[in-house]
Structure 1
Amino acid sequence: MQRDLDRLMSERHLDAIVVEGPDGLGSANPAFNYFVRGAHLTGLVIKKRNEPAMLIHSDWELLQAEATGLVCVSSSRWNIREISRQFPERLAARVELRRQMLTDLGVTGRVGLYGTVQIGPFLALLRGLEAAMPELTFVAEFDKDLISAARLTKDAAEVDVMRAVGRKTCEVVQAAVDFIAAGVANGDDVCDAVTGKPLTIGDVRHVIDRELAARGLVGEGTIFAQGRDAGLPHARGEDSMVLQRGQAIVFDIFPKDASGYYHDMTRTFAIDYASPELQQVYADVLGSFNAVVGEFEAGAPTKPYQTMVCDYFAARGHDTIATKYPIEEGFIHSLGHGLGLEVHEDFGFPSLTDRGDVLVPGAVFTVEPGLYYPSKGYGVRIEDTYWCRPDGQFESLTDFSKELVIPLRGTRLSGN
């Protein structure tokens, strides 16, 4: 949470932090968005330890800047025209502008650097600053950086937003299910009940996109993968593919709202019926999901839960990443990841190296066991977003059933 920033800065011996403004907006720069809370503006955040964060902003964006609640500092305080006259070379002028900003705002000591940038121009700026301001030490963190550590735990307002995004996401999934269920069977194909035209993944995706837009959500990269593609965890699905009765469909959707907060959920479906083999694999995945969620305990390390799911699958005859690597079939990934202003935040259930992550109150994360068998033409994944509440209890933010089969409500076309 943002209230933890001063403590985290003290632990890392940071006297100040600088968060570079957006290279793109919103989720393209989650560290900056964390401070401006979805406001679409350019600028720079500077925070000294035990002092409020400051937003350096353009006068053009004064109203947006004031709405952030940060201490607003107009960039016109520094005369860029005069600086450019004194330093004709553009890089030298930018270095001098930043030097003046940091000096005038009293930034000293060890300075942490964060935000999304274009690496080449920023590296040139940083090298210039290091030469111009040898009294400062610029600090870059590779793993579990300060902003990620603060973002790990969500406050009540953040969770309210994420819960609302979760509710809307579930509505979108239900709309897609209802669209499919209204179809009719024509042999193995699923067809429109009125026109008899075969329904495709593209048709379903159109419904998904429409329903997302109607709820003010943006979804990019939604997975709706059928058959063999369902056995490849990140295959998006071919829009031209006709919906088939009895085949596994992995539907993974992870939209965000205007503030930049995401929801992430996955359901696996089979239309009209599922083979005994698919039913058994689905039961194994659902069983692992229920078993691991039932063992969650606030303050516990995450690695044992990854091990627990691997052991659960191995006992049922499935290969897992715990005992086979590289691995293409079976349980081939980690159990889940952090969620918030990014789909994959800096938290997880490690499948390889244990980084010491812990289920702390305030954390929001996914739980998504899966089994993948592309050689057999199917895959299964089930995913909910969970929140570890301040009281140590765990709450699913994904209020959606986990039924495998979507029954067709339409009347079969003649001859079938």
Structure 2
Amino acid sequence: MKQDLDRLMAERNLDAIVVEGPDGLDSANPDFNYMTNGVHLTGTVIKKRGEPPMIVYRTMERQQAAETGLVMVAYDRWNMREIRQRTASNFEAQVEHRRRMFADLGIAGRVGIYGTVKAGPYFAVMAALAQQVPNLEIVAEFENDLFSAARLTKDADEVERMRVVGRKTCEVVQAVVDFIGGGSARDELVFDAAGQPITIGRVRALIGREIAARGLETPYGTIFAQGRDAGMPHAEGDDAAQLRLGQAIVFDIFPREVGGFYHDMTRTFAIGYAPPELQRAYDEVLGAFEQVMGELEAGAPTKPYQDMVCQFFEARGHETIGSKSPIEEGYVHGLGHGVGLEIHEDFGFPSGADRGDVMLPGAVFTVEPGLYYPSQGYGVRLEDTIYCTPDGEFENLTPFPKQLVIPIARS
């Protein structure tokens, strides 16, 4: 949570942090958006330990800067035209502008850098700055960085926003189920109420309309994969393919508020009926999901839950990533990941080395076991988004049933 930033800075021995947001039109900068309370603008957030954060803003965006609620500092406080006249190149001008900024704002000591930037130019400027400024050490964290730790736990307002996105996401999935179930089947193919073929492309268009109607967006699309494609975890599905009876459909949907918090859920469906091998795999995935949910414990390390699922599946004859790598069929991925301003936040259930992730109160993450057999023409995944409450309970933010078969009339 944001209230943890000073504590996290102290733990990392950081005197200040700099969060870059180079393009106000780009919402894919979660650390910067986190600090600006979701306001999009061009600028840089600077925070000294124990002091309120500042937004260094461009004059044309002073209104947006005011909306952030941060201490406002104009970029033009340091005259770039005058600096360029005194320096030999644009690179030297950028370094000098940042040097003056740090000097005037008292930014010194160990300074952590975050945000989304072009790595090469930014590295060049910061490396040169560190060489020119005494008592300045530029710090870059490789994993479990300050913002990953802060954003892992959500406050009450953030969780309520995520609840709303979860409910809206479930409404979209229900609209798809109703559309399919309201059609009819003929010769193992699915048609709508007007007798027109239902293709994956038509379903995807419906998903887009339903998402937009609820004020959400899907920056990374949606997975709606049938048959063999369902057996490949990230196959998006063939828009030209018509829906067929009895084939596995993996429907993985991950929308967000516009520029805000994500939700992530997956359901596996079969229209009309499920072949025995698909039903068996579905029951086993559901069994793994329910076992994990029954044993979640606040403060517990995450790796044992991944190991638990691997053991669950291996006991039923499936290969898993826990004992085989690389692996293409069986249980091929981790149990879940963090969710928030990014769809995959820096938190997980590892199969390999244990990073030490634990389920902290306030954390939001997915639970998503799956079995994948493209060679046999099917795959199964079930996924809900889960919140570890401040009192150590677990709230499911995905209020949607788990039912494999979508009933449909036959004509």
Asked if TM exceeds 0.5, the reply is yes
Whether the 8 Å contact between 1:26 and 1:33 is mirrored in structure 2 is: no
Whether the 8 Å contact between 2:372 and 2:378 is mirrored in structure 1 is: yes
Sequence identity, in percent?
A: 66
Alpha-carbon distance between aligned partners in 2 of 1:76 and 1:91, rounded to the nearest angstrom:
18
1:204 aligns with 2:188: no
**Partner of residue 85, structure 1:** 85
- What is the TM-score with the length of structure 1 in the denominator? 0.97
Whether the 8 Å contact between 1:368 and 1:381 is mirrored in structure 2 is: yes
**Partner of residue 395, structure 1:** 395
Alignment deviations for residues 4-62 of structure 1 (CA, whole Å, 9 cap, x no partner): 11111111111000001144645411110110122111100000000111111112212
> What are the residue-to-residue correspondences of 1:62-141 with 2, within 5 Å?
62-141=62-141
Give 1:88 deviation, angstroms. Answer: 4.2
Give 1:63 deviation, angstroms. Answer: 1.9
Alignment deviations for residues 325-384 of structure 1 (CA, whole Å, 9 cap, x no partner): 111111110000001010110101001111000000000000000000001000000000
**Partner of residue 277, structure 1:** 277
> What are the residue-to-residue correspondences of 1:7-406 with 2, within 5 Å?
7-23=7-23, 25=25, 27-194=27-194, 196-219=195-218, 220-406=220-406
Report the aligned-residue RMSD: 1.1
Structure 1 residues 24 and 187: alpha-carbon distance in aligned structure 2, compared to 1, 3 A threshold: farther
Q: Which runs of 5+ in 2 are unaligned?
A: none
Q: How many residues align?
A: 410
Alignment deviations for residues 101-134 of structure 1 (CA, whole Å, 9 cap, x no partner): 1110001100001011111211221222122214
Alpha-carbon distance between aligned partners in 1 of 2:330 and 2:362, rounded to the nearest angstrom:
32
Q: What letter corresponds to residue 215 of structure 1 in structure 2?
A: R
Whether the 8 Å contact between 2:169 and 2:263 is mirrored in structure 1 is: yes
1:6 aligns with 2:6: yes
SS of equivalent to 1:28: coil
- What is the TM-score with the length of structure 2 in the denominator? 0.98
Alpha-carbon distance between aligned partners in 2 of 1:349 and 1:84, rounded to the nearest angstrom:
50
Q: What letter corresponds to residue 392 of structure 1 in structure 2?
A: G
Alpha-carbon distance between aligned partners in 1 of 2:237 and 2:22, rounded to the nearest angstrom:
32
Alpha-carbon distance between aligned partners in 2 of 1:248 and 1:316, rounded to the nearest angstrom:
20
Alpha-carbon distance between aligned partners in 1 of 2:282 and 2:12, rounded to the nearest angstrom:
45
Alpha-carbon distance between aligned partners in 2 of 1:249 and 1:96, rounded to the nearest angstrom:
57
Q: What letter corresponds to residue 89 of structure 1 in structure 2?
A: S
Alpha-carbon distance between aligned partners in 2 of 1:103 and 1:84, rounded to the nearest angstrom:
18
Q: What letter corresponds to residue 94 of structure 2 in structure 1?
A: R
Structure 1 residues 337 and 26: alpha-carbon distance in aligned structure 2, compared to 1, 3 A threshold: farther
Q: Which runs of 5+ in 1 are unaligned?
A: none
Whether the 8 Å contact between 1:23 and 1:118 is mirrored in structure 2 is: no
Alpha-carbon distance between aligned partners in 1 of 2:265 and 2:200, rounded to the nearest angstrom:
18
Whether the 8 Å contact between 2:365 and 2:387 is mirrored in structure 1 is: yes
Whether the 8 Å contact between 2:56 and 2:74 is mirrored in structure 1 is: yes
Give 1:185 deviation, angstroms. Answer: 0.5
Q: Which runs of 4+ in 1 moved over 6 A?
A: none
Deviates more, 1:165-174 or 1:84-93: 84-93
Give 1:164 deviation, angstroms. Answer: 0.7
Alpha-carbon distance between aligned partners in 2 of 1:243 and 1:215, rounded to the nearest angstrom:
26
Alpha-carbon distance between aligned partners in 2 of 1:22 and 1:291, rounded to the nearest angstrom:
45
Alpha-carbon distance between aligned partners in 2 of 1:283 and 1:405, rounded to the nearest angstrom:
12
Alpha-carbon distance between aligned partners in 2 of 1:76 and 1:87, rounded to the nearest angstrom:
17
Whether the 8 Å contact between 2:190 and 2:198 is mirrored in structure 1 is: yes
Alignment deviations for residues 367-407 of structure 1 (CA, whole Å, 9 cap, x no partner): 00000000100000000000000010000100001000111
SS of equivalent to 1:326: coil
Deviates more, 1:335-344 or 1:118-127: 118-127
Whether the 8 Å contact between 1:265 and 1:398 is mirrored in structure 2 is: yes
Structure 1 residues 26 and 402: alpha-carbon distance in aligned structure 2, compared to 1, 3 A threshold: farther
Whether the 8 Å contact between 2:285 and 2:369 is mirrored in structure 1 is: yes
Whether the 8 Å contact between 1:38 and 1:258 is mirrored in structure 2 is: no
Alignment deviations for residues 283-322 of structure 1 (CA, whole Å, 9 cap, x no partner): 0000110111110000000011011111111111111111
